[in-house]
Amino acid sequence: MLVPRMTAKYLFDAEPGELVRTSGRNGPVLGLVSGLHFEDPRMPKLLIHLTPRDERRQGPSYSVIQEHAGSTALSFGKDYVFVVDPAPEAIDPLWGGDFYAAGALVIAEQHKLLQVAPAHPEGHQAILSYDIERGSTVATYAPRPSCVVLKWEIRLKEGEYLDPPLGPLFKFEVPSRSGSSARR
């Protein structure tokens, strides 16, 4: 038995919502596969790159998955969870609809949206909202009522049962709202 469970597949064949590790322009990428973009079957599948926010990178971003590129990926499937930090400084309950930086989680009654920026701004400009429960980008932005989570991580579900448990695959923190770089 292999723990955690994983499968090799072509990136284009990965299903919406799958957590994958593949290679990108600048090395290995941990990402989430996005299904129908704005529910439009003519739009391409996207890869949501899970990248930290630092002086070189803007945080989670997206790129188009090329159907004929033949990129392979190691898929962890959909057996993962987003874990939010409940600390007061990690949650903004008074969100006024400002454009938060890539990586902010907008939590509403019907959507849990991860804000993502273009990985290659020369090709795309829009910040998109990736619905972490549906596995696709959605046209909905700023649902009401909503709060913004600025600190979260992704963990594999089966990693919780190991001794010692697996640590998070990815950790993210957006600077607080009082910092000028928290909003976009």
Which pLDDT tens digit goes with each residue over 38-51?
666 667 789 999 98
Residue 181 covered by a domain: no
184 burial via Cβ count (<10 Å: 0-12, 13-18, 19+): middle
Q: Is the pLDDT of residue 122 over 50?
A: yes
> Is there a contact between 107 and 4 (Cβ–Cβ < 8 Å)?
no
Residue 140 covered by a domain: yes
Residue 169 covered by a domain: yes
User: What pTM value is reported for the model?
Assistant: 0.83
> Domain range spanning residue 80?
7-173
Distance CA 66, CA 84 (A): 32
Domain count, the chain: 1
Taking only the tens place, the pLDDT of each residue in 17-43 is 999 999 887 789 999 999 867 666 667
Q: Is the pLDDT of residue 101 over 60?
A: yes
Give the pair of three-digit tokens for residue 80. Answer: 């993962």
